[in-house]
């Protein structure tokens, strides 16, 4: 099964920071720091206080980085 299908089935079209941190097995604070420093290579939008990550972008990031 394709990575994007797996993630979309589980998370829907967007993932929040908590879900992304769980997937990467990182603390939310670590992801906040990467976003603040501009080091997170996944497209995201900020809605109010919440960061949202398109699931297809997370899938692309994982696929690209697992194959290198």
Q: Give pLDDT tens digits for 26-41.
A: 999 999 999 999 999 9
- CA 4, distance to chain mean position in Å, is 12
The pLDDT score that the predictor gives to residue 19 is 97
- The reply to whether 33 falls in a domain is yes
Q: Is residue 5 part of a domain?
A: no
The region, left, alpha or beta by phi > 0 then psi within -120 to 50, assigned to residue 4 is alpha
Whether residue 68 is predicted with pLDDT greater than 90 in this model: the reply is no
Domain that holds residue 52: 14-66
More confident residue, 51 or 3: 51
**Segment 47-67, tens digit of pLDDT:** 999 999 999 999 999 998 876
**28 CB contacts (<8 Å, ≥6 apart)?**
17, 18, 21
**What's the number of domains the chain is made of?**
1
Residue 7 lies in a domain: no
So what's the pLDDT on residue 1?
A: 67
Cβ proximity of 44 and 53 under 8 Å: yes
């Amino acid at each position: 099964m394709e990575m994007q299908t797996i993630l979309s089935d589980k998370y829907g079209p967007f993932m929040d920071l908590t879900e992304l941190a769980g997937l990467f097995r990182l603390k939310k604070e670590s992801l906040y720091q990467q976003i603040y420093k501009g080091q997170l290579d996944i497209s995201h939008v900020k809605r109010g206080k919440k960061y949202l990550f398109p699931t297809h972008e997370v899938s692309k990031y994982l696929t690209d980085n697992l194959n290198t």
